[in-house]
Amino acid sequence: MKILVVTPYVACPGADGGGTLMFNFIRHLAVRHNIIYLSFARQQDMARLAQVAPYCAEVIPVPFPDGAVMSPLAKVSNLARRVVHNLLSVATFTPVVVRKCRSRAMDEEIRRAIGRHSPDVVHICFPQMAHYVESCAGVPAVMDTLDVALLGVFRRAMSARQVWAKTYYLMQWLFWVRYESRWFPLFGKVLTVTRQDAAAVNMVMPDLDIYADAIAVEIEPNSVSERDAALRIGFLASFGHQPNIDAALYFAESILPLVRKQMPAAEFLVAGKNPPSLLLNAKEQGITCLGFVEDVPAFYGSVDVVVAPIRYGGGIKIKVLEAMACGKPLVTTSVGAEGIAETGEGAFLVADDPARFAEAVVALLSDKERRVALGKRAQQVIERRFSWQRVCDDLDKIYQALAAVKK
């Protein structure tokens, strides 16, 4: 079959959870189908597009609506655009991230790609792109949510401390409810990555045809054996995503000091491009920012315990799956654990307040046998529940059903 895949940013391994997931999705799908790939991209994204090109019949970059490289002047201009986007968001009752993704060029390229290739199905990734279902010209379409906005934004609002922030995110949540309720019913199938996400969407749209568990991860071996003296705590994330910024600061400010009271030599290693500025010069507090890392398994192999102190957001946490696939012992929150392991599987430790989170980290750092056992159980969960074979088999059935209806 011919599948047109449309994304809001470039599918690329290692860039961030979403980019890695989309890249692996295209790579595995290309074994079975002809892929035409269309994505927003800036000039600096061309090298990333080159990585996905071998798996596609055609790769079509579309200029991102907010422009190119961020020079100092461009950063000022970008700030002005953000203000405008927020004002227009309120004026049009539209989520601000959706406004950033509105593009006549994208609409035209989707229509041209359909005219040239006559795809059997269009697979659109992320909720902010849902309105492009109108561009599909009658070709059946799949909405791959990856991160259900109406759930994630609601949690963001509930976690906000300032009244103005809570009001802003509640308003954005109402906009998302309106937006998703309008566009999601036009898709032949809606994919979510957890059953919790599916339930949240069905509360608003009870008649929607949803497939849950549309998620998989590459299985990587642990590149470094367990050390007896365990002191390194790792967190890898894309810091263009607000829940990851919150998680890093939450751990650094509220949890790490409690860990270091019991283990003064413990280190917090933060990997990812553009980490929060408050962490950049905090070596005296036991924090080291490594920046972007090319080799994710090698990073996980270099740390003793992985943390994912996520407090809000929807979808499944790719960083958690990757750490588990690498056989690393993990401490996360209820939000970070959502949709990953069944109760009683013992694949990681869960704690939702700073004291208990710190206790769990110290317990793992102090017990090599427990770290090894936890890591093995984590890998077993990945092998059983998050294989690309399973996801691609299910997608084949979905695509065939949609194409049959069209015919």
pLDDT of residue 66: 62
Residue 260 and residue 112 share a domain: no
Measured from the Cβ of residue 22, the count of other Cβ atoms closer than 10 Å reads 27
205: tokens are 């749209």
pLDDT grade for 189, boundaries at 50, 70 and 90: very high
Asked whether residue 394 is domain-assigned, the answer is: yes
Residue 225: band (very low, low, confident or very high) from pLDDT cuts 50, 70, 90: low
What mean pLDDT, rounded, does the chain reach? 87
Query: Looking at the structure, do residues 93 and 195 belong to the same domain, yes or no?
Result: yes
Same domain, yes or no: 123 and 36:
yes
Inside any domain, residue 227: no
Which of 199-213, 214-228, 262-276, 354-368 has the least mean pLDDT? 214-228
Cα 38 to Cα 10, 113, 226, distances in angstroms: 9, 8, 42
> What is each CA distance from 170 to 8, 160, 383, in whole angstroms?
24, 10, 38
224 within a domain of the structure (yes/no): no
pLDDT bucket at 221, cuts 50 / 70 / 90: low
The answer on 162 and 94 residing in a single domain is yes
* CA separation for the pair 127, 183 (Å, rounded): 9
Together in a domain, 117 and 264: no
- Residues above pLDDT 70, as percent of the chain: 88
The lowest-confidence range among 95-99, 237-241, 348-352 is 237-241
Q: How many domains does the chain have?
A: 2
Inform me whether the pLDDT recorded for 68 exceeds 50: no
Q: Which of 176, 343, 351 has its CA nearest to residue 255?
A: 351
Domain annotation covers residue 226: no
> Domain limits at 310?
232-385
**Judgement on whether residues 193 and 297 belong to the same structural domain of the protein:** no
CA–CA dist 121, 2 (Å, integer):
7
Non-local (6+) Cβ contacts of 112 within 8 A are none
Distance (Å, whole) CA 374 – CA 115: 51
Based on the domain organization, do 181 and 301 belong to the same domain?
no
**Residue 327 reports pLDDT greater than 50:** yes
Residue 374 Cα to chain centre, angstroms = 24
301, two tokens:
């192999």
Looking at the structure, tell me whether residues 177 and 149 fall in a common domain: yes
Indicate the pLDDT class of residue 146, thresholds 50, 70 and 90.
confident
Min mean pLDDT across 40-44, 87-91, 346-350, 386-390 is at 87-91
Residue 142 dihedral angles phi and psi, to the nearest 5°: -115, 130
Location of structure tokens 């949690």 = 155
Supply the pLDDT for residue 268: 96
Q: Both tokens of residue 383?
A: 């092998």
- Asked which of 22-36, 74-88, 111-125, 174-188 is least confident by mean pLDDT, the reply is 74-88
pLDDT at 117: 96
For residue range 19-35, what is the model confidence (pLDDT) as tens digits? 888 999 999 999 999 99
Q: Any idea what the CATH number is for the domain that residue 114 is in?
A: 3.40.50.2000
Q: How far apart are CA 277 and CA 283, in angstroms?
A: 13
**Residue 202 forms part of a structural domain:** yes
Same domain, 255 and 300: yes
Distance CA 179, CA 324 (A): 34
Kindly state whether residue 31 falls inside one of the protein's structural domains: yes
Q: Are residues 352 and 393 in the same domain?
A: no
The verdict on 209 and 299 lying in the same domain is: no
In sequence order, what DSSP letters do the residues of 57-91 get, joined into one string? SEEEEEE-TT-S---HHHHHHHHHHHHHHHHHHHH
Number of other CB atoms surrounding residue 30 within 10 Å: 18
The 10s digit of each residue's pLDDT in 107-124 is 999 999 999 999 999 999
Q: Please give the average per-residue pLDDT across 151-162, as a whole number.
A: 84
221 inside domain: no
Average pLDDT over residues 170-195: 93
Spatial separation of the C-alpha atoms in residues 29 and 391, rounded to whole Å: 10
pLDDT value of position 91: 65
pLDDT recorded at residue 79: 57
**Domain shared by 192 and 289, yes or no:** no
Give the Cα-Cα-Cα angle 175, 176, 179 (nearest 5 degrees): 85
Distance CA 53, CA 45 (A): 12
Please return the burial class of 202, using the count of CB atoms within 10 Å of its CB with bins 0-12, 13-18 and 19+: middle
CA-wise closest residue to 333 among 268, 251, 269: 251
